[in-house]
């Protein structure tokens, strides 16, 4: 007599083989290929890449905040009216409006 578990295992195996040989498996493979090709054309990023960029941005913003604080402290230490100090340096990259501070006015 066949054990009940063996019969269930055989039945599952037979069904799996039947599905693998049916047109459903081909349709599934074709749909996966089609969707993969479509997504690659959409210029999407993976969640992992997005999370990495978020972390990099958070670190950069934290560093900018710390540098702004340090600069503010250094400016507060400088005696008023002192003209012997170095000229102010414009940033190499314009700040992104709306993130932490308003954009600087352009010199005329």
* Range(s) of the domain holding residue 30: 4-41
Same domain as 8, residue 26:
yes
Percent of the chain with pLDDT over 70: 69
Instruction: Kindly indicate the confidence band of residue 9, based on its pLDDT and cuts at 50, 70 and 90.
Output: confident
| 27/14 Cα distance (integer angstroms) | 20
**Which tens digit of pLDDT belongs to each residue from 12-21?**
888 888 777 7
Note whether residue 86 is domain-resident.
no
Q: What is the DSSP letter of 98?
A: T
**φ, ψ for residue 36, nearest 5 deg:** -60, -45
Q: Is the dihedral of CA 24, 26, 31, 36 positive or negative?
A: positive
What does the pLDDT read at residue 58? 96
| 9/7 Cα distance (integer angstroms) | 5
Would the pTM count as exceeding 0.85?
A: no
Number of separate domains in the chain? 2
């Amino acid at each position: 007599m066949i054990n009940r578990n063996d019969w269930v295992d055989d039945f599952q195996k037979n069904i799996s083989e039947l599905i693998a040989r049916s047109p459903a498996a081909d349709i599934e493979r074709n749909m996966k290929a089609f969707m993969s090709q479509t997504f690659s054309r959409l210029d999407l990023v993976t969640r992992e890449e997005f999370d990495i960029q978020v972390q990099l941005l958070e670190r950069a913003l934290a560093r900018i905040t710390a540098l702004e604080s340090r600069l503010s402290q250094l400016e507060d230490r400088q005696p008023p009216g002192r003209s012997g100090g170095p000229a102010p340096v414009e940033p190499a990259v314009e700040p992104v409006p709306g993130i932490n501070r308003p954009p600087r006015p352009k010199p005329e």
